[in-house]
Amino acid sequence: MQDYSNKTSTTSNKPLAIELSDVSVSFGKFCALKNVSFSINKGDFLYIVGPNGSGKTTLIKLMVGVIEPTLGKVHINSDNLGYLPQKFNYSHQFPVTVREVIYSGCKKQRIIATKKSKALIKTWLKKMEIEHLSENSMANLSGGEQQRVFLIRALINKPNLLIMDEPTSALDPKFRRHFNEIINRLSKEGVTIIYVTHDLHDRVDDNAKIMYVDQTVRFFGNFNDYAARSRGEDNV
Amino acid sequence: MTMQQEVEVKIMFDFFTEQFMQYALYLGLALAVAAAFLSPYLVLSHQAMIADGIAHISFTGISIGLLLSSQALYFAIPFAIIASIAITILTEKANMQNDASISVVSAFALAIGLIIVTVGDGFNRSIESLLVGSILTVSTSEVQLAIILMVITIVFVLAFYRPLLAMTYDPEYAKFSGVKTSLLKYSLAALTAVFVVIGVKTVGILLISAYTIFPALISNQLVKSFKLTLVGGVVIAIFTIFIGITLSYHLNLPTGSTIVVVYTILLIGAYLLRRILRRN
Give B106-165 pLDDT, tens digit per residue: 888 888 888 887 877 655 556 667 777 778 888 899 899 999 999 999 999 999 999 999
Minimum mean pLDDT range among A16-20, A132-136, B81-85, B192-196: B81-85
Residue B186 contacts A, CB cutoff 8 Å: no
Residue A154 contacts B, CB cutoff 8 Å: no
Residue B1 has pLDDT above 80, yes or no: no
pLDDT number for residue A8: 67
Residue B232 has pLDDT above 90, yes or no: yes
| Interface mutation vs chain B, best among A60, A67, A81, A96, most B CBs within 10 Å | A96
Mean pLDDT of chain B: 87
Q: Over the stretch A92-107, which tens digit does the pLDDT of each residue have?
A: 678 999 999 999 998 8
> Looking at per-residue confidence, does A124 or B66 come out higher?
A124
- Tell me how far apart the alpha carbons of residues A14 and A18 are, in angstroms, rounded to a whole number: 12
Q: Which residues of B touch A88 (CB under 8 A)?
A: 170, 173
pLDDT number for residue A21: 94
Q: Where are the domains of chain B?
A: 3-12+19-279
Strand pairing category for A16-27 and A71-76: antiparallel
Mean pLDDT of chain A: 87
Residue A234 banded pLDDT, cuts 50, 70, 90: low
Segment holding B90, helix H or strand E: helix B72-93
Q: Which residues of A touch B223 (CB under 8 A)?
A: 95
pLDDT number for residue A5: 42
Q: ipTM score here? A: 0.86
Burial of A170 (0-12, 13-18, 19+ CB in 10 A): middle
Q: With an 8 Å Cβ cutoff, are A136 and B175 in contact?
A: no
Residue A4 banded pLDDT, cuts 50, 70, 90: very low
- Among A83, A94, A137, select the one facing B44 at the smallest CB separation: A94
Q: With an 8 Å Cβ cutoff, are B176 and A83 in contact?
A: yes
Q: Over the stretch A181-206, which tens digit does the pLDDT of each residue have?
A: 888 889 999 999 999 988 787 777 77
Q: Which residues of B touch A60 (CB under 8 A)?
A: none
In angstroms, the separation between the Cα of residue B162 and the nearest Cα of chain A is: 7
- Tell me how far apart the alpha carbons of residues B167 and B184 are, in angstroms, rounded to a whole number: 8
Please tell me what DSSP assigns to residue B94. S
DSSP state letters, B202-240: HH-TTTHHHHHHHHHHHHHHH-SSHHHHHHHHHHHHHHH
Over range B91-108, report the average pLDDT: 81
Highest mean pLDDT among A87-91, B10-14, B245-249: B245-249
Task: Please tell me whether residue A159 adopts helix, strand or coil conformation.
Answer: coil
Highest mean pLDDT among A68-77, B51-60, B75-84: A68-77
pLDDT number for residue A88: 65
- Tell me how far apart the alpha carbons of residues B22 and A206 are, in angstroms, rounded to a whole number: 74
Over range A4-22, report the average pLDDT: 73
- Among A66, A90, A137, select the one facing B175 at the smallest CB separation: A66
Residue A68 contacts B, CB cutoff 8 Å: no
- Among B170, B219, B224, select the one facing A137 at the smallest CB separation: B224
Residue A231 has pLDDT above 80, yes or no: no
Residue A10 banded pLDDT, cuts 50, 70, 90: low
Say which residues have a Cβ less than 8 Å from residue A58's Cβ, sequence separation at least 6. A25, A32, A33, A67
Over range A169-188, report the average pLDDT: 84
Over range A62-89, report the average pLDDT: 90
Q: Which residues of A touch B271 (CB under 8 A)?
A: none
pLDDT number for residue B272: 96
Residue A6 contacts B, CB cutoff 8 Å: no
- Tell me how far apart the alpha carbons of residues A54 and B94 are, in angstroms, rounded to a whole number: 26
Residue B29 has pLDDT above 90, yes or no: yes
- Among A83, A88, A109, select the one facing B162 at the smallest CB separation: A109
Residue A114 contacts B, CB cutoff 8 Å: no
In angstroms, the separation between the Cα of residue A165 and the nearest Cα of chain B is: 13
pLDDT number for residue B123: 59
In angstroms, the separation between the Cα of residue B163 and the nearest Cα of chain A is: 8
In angstroms, the separation between the Cα of residue A85 and the nearest Cα of chain B is: 8
Percent share of chain A, pLDDT over 70: 90
Residue B223 contacts A, CB cutoff 8 Å: yes
Over range B80-90, report the average pLDDT: 86
- Tell me how far apart the alpha carbons of residues B167 and B1 are, in angstroms, rounded to a whole number: 48
pLDDT number for residue A2: 47
- Tell me how far apart the alpha carbons of residues B78 and B57 are, in angstroms, rounded to a whole number: 11
Residue A236 has pLDDT above 60, yes or no: no
Q: Would you identify the CATH topology of the domain B3-12+19-279? A: ABC transporter involved in vitamin B12 uptake, BtuC (1.10.3470)
Minimum mean pLDDT range among A69-78, A137-146, B61-70, B214-223: B61-70
